[in-house]
Chains A and B, each alone.
Chain A
Amino acid sequence: MKKAIIYFGLALTITIWLLLSCKKDVVENYDNYIPTPVEIEYPQSFPDLEIPTDNSPTKEAIALGRSLYYDKILHKNQVLSCSACHDQNNAFTTMNSNSLAHINLGWNHSFLWNGKIQGTLEDIMLFEVEDFFETNIELLNSSEKYRVLFKKAYGVDSIASQNVAFALAQFFRTLNSFNSRYDKQMQGIVNFTIEEYEGFDIFYTERGDCFHCHGTSLLHDNLFHNNGLDASPDLGLYMITQNSDDLGKFKTPTLRNIELTAPYMHDGRFQSLEEVVDFYCDNLNYSPTISPLMKNVGQGGVNLTPYERVCLIAFLKTLTDDFFITNPALGAP
C-alpha cells in the first residue's frame, strides 16, 4: 500500500511537471500577429509629418504608447508617469512645472528648452526612457500584459528600451492640436469677436510682432531665441552647442493652447498671460545675444496700450483647442 502511494505520488509529480513544461508562453499566441496600420491625420497647412520608416504608425503601437504614457511602470521606482507632469486638461503640461507641453511634437526636430535632444520623437523618447525615467525594463518583461502588447505591436519576445521609446513616440505622434477657435476662424467656420480680431491684428503685424517667432501653422518657428528675459541670461542652447552666440537662447514653444499651459518661459517665471504680455511690452532686457527680432528693446518692448494688451490676450485664448483637451483617445486608457 505504501509503495502504491509513493508510486502514485511520483507519477503525479512527473505528469504535472510534463504538463507545465509543455505550457505555451502566452506571447507565442501572437507569433503571427500583424499590427494594423493607421494614418495620422493633420491639416494641409501643417508641414509634412516625417515618420521614420522603422516605426510606421499602427493601432497597436499607439495604444501601447498610450498605456505607457499613463503608467508609473515607466519610472525606475514606479512613482511617476508621463501624465503626472503632462495633464491632458492642461494641454499635456501642468500648472506647477515649466515642462513644455506635449503638443504637435511630431513636427519638432529639437526637444527640451535648451535643445538637448535633436532628431525625432524616437530620439527624445529614448532619452526619457533611459535617462529621465530610467525605466526598469525587466519589470516590463515580467509583466504579461506588456509582453503581449509589445509582441502584438513590435513582434518582440523580449522588450528593450528602444521598443518602449518607439511605442511612446507613436502615441506622441497623435497628440496633435489643430481644432482651436483660431483654426475655425481661419477656415471661415466661426467669427472672432472685435477684441479677438484686434488681438489677431496686433499678433500678426509689427505692432505686437509676435508672429516672427510664433508664426506658421504650428505657432512656432522651430528655432531658438534669446527673447530678452535677462541682462545676464541663463545658458540655454549654449549648454549644448558651447557657441557663445547661443547664450540665453531657448526653444520657441508653440502658442497653441497657451491659455492652459502656465507657468511660462523656460524657468516658469510668469504665472499668467498678463505677466507675459507685460514683459514683452515694458520689460525687455538687452544682452549681447538678444534676438534681432526684439526690435524695441531700447524702449523696453512693444509698449502696447492697456486695451491692446486685453485684445492680444483675447486672441491668444482663441488658440485653445477644446477637442484636444477632452479627446478620450488621448486620455488615460
Chain B
Amino acid sequence: MLKKIILVNLILVLVLACKKDEVKIESHTSEITFLHSVDGNLSHFNEFIYTNEYGNNYNLLTLRYFISEVELKALDNDIIKFDDIIYVDASNPDFLKATFNKKIPNKTYSQIKFTFGISTTQNVTGLFNNFPQTSMEWPVPMGGGYHYMKLEGKLANLSDTINYNVHTGPLNGNPNYFEVVLPLDLQVEDNKFAINLNMEINNWFNNPNTINLEDIVGGMMGNQDMQQKLKENGVDVFSIVP
C-alpha cells in the first residue's frame, strides 16, 4: 500500500512539473476621454441656451471633430506617437473615448501634443469610406478631404431663431488645422494611461478673435478669413482636466 501511495505521488509530481507555464497576455490599453464644456460646465445638447463673448445666445445640436497625430513627451524627451485619426462625436457615447493598444514605457510624461483636425498630407478624399467618418467629407470643389469640425446649433435672437454652422476644414488646401501642446503631469506605472481632454466650446468664439455667429449664418466653409479666425481662437480651447 505504501509503495502504491509513493508511486502515485511520484506520478503527480512529474505531471505537475511538466505542466507548461501559462502564457500571461498583458493588456496595455490606454485611453483619452473627450469632455466638452461651456464656461466650465459640462455641455448639454439641445437643452440650454449659452452666451458667447459677443453676446450671441446659442444652443448646441451637433459637435463632431477629428484629432490626430497624438504624441506624449516624457521628461527624458522620449516621444510616444499614436498614428490614429480620432473621430469624436460629443453627443454619441460610442465616440467619446479613444483607446490605444500600445505598451507605454513606465515614466513621467510632461507634455501631450496633437493636431486639431487632419494634416494636409493625410487629409485626402477617400481616406474614410465608412460611416460615420465618411459623412465628414469636405467637398472636392472646395479642396477635398474632410471637415476638421462640425459645430452646429441654433441662435436665439430677438426676432427669430436661426441656425449656425461652424464648419472648419481644409478650404482650398489651406492648412487650417493646428497643433495643440498641453502640459502634463502623468506618471505611467502599468504601461498604460488614462487622461481627460476637455474642449471649452465658448473659447472658439473669443481670444484673440471675437466671433459673431450671426456673421456665419449662411455658412463659413468658403470663408478663409473666418477659417483663419477659428484656427487662431483654437489656442486655448483644449485643456487636460482631472
Contacts and interface: CB of A to CB of B under 8 A. Distances in A.
A216 B154 contact: no
Interface bracket on B: 20 to 34
B139 A211 contact: yes
Given A205-B222, A206-B221, A297 B163 contact: yes
A295 B218 contact: yes
B46 interface: yes
B135 A217 contact: no
A211 to B, nearest CB: 5
A206 B129 contact: no
Given A217-B129, A292-B62, A295-B218, A204 B141 contact: yes
Contacts of A292: 61-62, 152-154, 163-165
A293 interface: yes
Interface bracket on A: 20 to 34
Interface in A290-316: 290-298
B135 A222 contact: yes
Nearest to A43: B129
Contacts of B129: 44-48, 217
A35 interface: no
A48 B221 contact: no
Main secondary structure of the interface of A (DSSP, over half): loop
Interface in B188-230: 217-219, 221-222
Nearest to B161: A286
Given A286-B161, A293-B152, A295-B217, A215 B139 contact: yes
B160 interface: yes
B165 A205 contact: no
B162 interface: yes
B8 to A, nearest CB: 48
Given A47-B131, A295-B219, A216 B137 contact: yes
A221 interface: yes
Contacts of A31: none
B142 interface: yes
A201 B222 CA distance: 12
A46 B126 CA distance: 9
24 contacts: A44-B126, A44-B129, A45-B126, A45-B129, A47-B129, A47-B134, A205-B139, A215-B135, A217-B129, A221-B131, A221-B135, A222-B135, A245-B46, A286-B161, A292-B152, A292-B153, A292-B165, A293-B163, A293-B165, A294-B163, A295-B162, A295-B219, A296-B218, A297-B163
Interface of A: 44-48, 200-201, 204-206, 209, 211, 215-217, 221-223, 245, 286, 290-298
Lowest 6 A-B CB distances belong to which pairs?
A: A206-B219, A204-B139, A292-B152, A292-B163, A47-B130, A221-B135
